[in-house]
Structure 1
C-alpha cells in the first residue's frame, strides 16, 4: 500500500535518482524486524550452501553493498552485490537507466559504475547477513589485463562472500562478452578457480552468462564450466535483442530487462539444463515477477531464482510475496522441498 502511494512520486524522478533514493532508504532501515522468508519446503542446498528460500536479489541492484541488511529484511534468501571492479569507475554518461512503463521493462547502459571493490568489502563485512551473500566481480573498462582484474576481484571477494560470481555477460562494457567463448573463457575460469582459495577457504564460484547465445556457444560454455569446476551458472544477464515493445524509450541502447525478457530467459534456462545434462545448478534471472513464474523456472530446472527489474514495478513486497507463494505452490503439488521440484517439467 505504501509503495502504491509512493510510486507516482518515484516514477516522476529520473530512474537513477529514484534508484539511489531507494537504496538510501533501505540502508537507513537496515532490515530491522525482517529477514528471509523461511519454511522447510523452501530450503534448498546449492553449491554446498544452504539457502533459506530460493528467491535472491540479482547483482546490479545494490552495486556497492550499501543496503545488504535492508534487502535481506525484504525476505530475500540471498543477496548478490556488485558488479564490483578492482578500481572505482563512473560508468557510462547519464542518462543511462530508462523505464519502459508500458512494457514493465528497463533498459540500462550503466557500464559497471561502482566505487571499487575495496570500498564495498567493509560494508559486506559489517552487514548482519541474515541470508547468503554473493559478490559479483568484473573488469574495469580500461583494464590492460581483464583476466587479472577478475583474479583480483575473486581473491578479495572470496575472503568475505558466501559465493563469488564472475560477470562476463554485461552488454555495456565493450568486448566483455568475448570472454564467454573459447580459449578466453577456459583461461579465465582456470585463473578464477586458482584465485578463490583452497581447502576450507574455497568459495563456490558462479558464472553469469548472457541470454544472447547460439546453441554452439551454449554448449561451449557448459562444457568449460563443468571442466573448470564452476559451481553454478546464472542464466542470464540483460539482452541486446528487442522483442516487440510499446514504449517510446525502446530505441535506447543498452541491456533490456524485465517482463519482455521472460520468454528468452526461460528458453536459455532450458538450453543450459540440456547442455549441462543437469550436472550444474542453474540460477534463473529475467522477467520473474510472480510466484507462478518463479515456480515455472524451478520446474524447468532452476535451483534458485533472482529478481531485479520487477522490484521497480511491483515494489519491495515482491520477494516476500514470491517466497510465500512458492510455499503454497510446492505444497499444492506435493513437493516436500524445492529440490524435489527442480526440472520436473
Structure 2
C-alpha cells in the first residue's frame, strides 16, 4: 500500500495519552509539526519520548486523544497504512539480506515494479553514500554504515514522516558526530519531516529546528535550540540542559527583570524567570562554562579538584558554607587553591522556588 501524502501541511498531536495499567506514560501531549521541520523529543529515560514516537508510528495504540495529518485522523490506522519511515536504535536490518535488499524491502512490500525499486534504491544508496557497499551483508558493514542503510530504508519509500528512535546511541563518539551531520544533510536534501528521539542535549541542539522537552510523560517546553539553551522555562529544564549549579538563595532585590541574590558574603545578579519578590527563596542556575575565576568575583571558594579538557580546566570548588560549585578556568588551577568566582548576569538564571537536595 502506498504511503500517505508527502505534501501534508501539518502533523498534530491532540491531547495524546498512553497508559500501561496504572502508569501514565504520556499525559495529554499536544504538539503541531509543520512539513519539513526537524523536531527533537528530548528528555531523560522514562520521560515518554519513545512512547510518543511509537504511538506516532502506530506500534502502540492511544488511550486518549488523537493524531492528525492535516484533516485526516491517523491514529486508528495500522503502521503500514501510515507509510512512515522508521529508524531504530539497533538498526533492525535483516542479517541475511544485502544492503540494497534491506533498503528495498519496504518498496517490495508495497508491490512496486522492479525497475522502480531498483531506481529508487540506487538513488537512496547514493544519497547515504553507500553505493559501493550495496552488495554487502549488514555483518560486513561498520556501525555507521549499518545506520546509513537503516536511514536509506526509511527514506526510500518517500514517507510523509521519518521517525528516529535514538539512532546514534550505539555508535562511538566520533561516529556520532559524523552521523549527526549526515542525518541533517539527508533531512535537508530529502525535504522530509523528521521526529527524532534523544536523551542527548548536544544532539538535539545541533540537529533540531525545534526541541520538545519532556518530563514524566508531559511536554515541559517547546522552543528553538537557542531558546532552550539560553533561557529554559523551568529550573528542572535548566538542570537537564546543563545548568549544573542549582543554588537555593534568597532574593535581595528586583529591578527591570534582574534579580540580586545573596550568596554568603557576595551578591549575584541574574535574569528573573517567573514571579517573585525580595525575600523569596529562588533557584539560581549557572552553567559550569559560565562560572569562572574573576578578580572581583562575588563567590569565594576553595578548589576541590580540577581536570584539563584540552583547552580549559573544569573543576569543583566549595564555599565556606559548603556550597559545591562547578566552574571553568582558562588557566590551570589546583586542589586547595582559593578562587573568587563570578558569572555574567546575562548567563545567570533565577527561578522562583527552591532547589531539590543534591542526590547523595
Is the strand fraction higher in 1 or 2? 2
Is the helix fraction higher in 1 or 2? 1
| Class of the TM-score when normalised by the shorter of the 2 chains | under 0.3
Greater RCO (Cα-Cα under 8 Å, separation 6 or more): 1
Q: TM-score, normalised by structure 2?
A: 0.25
State the structure with more CA Rg.
2
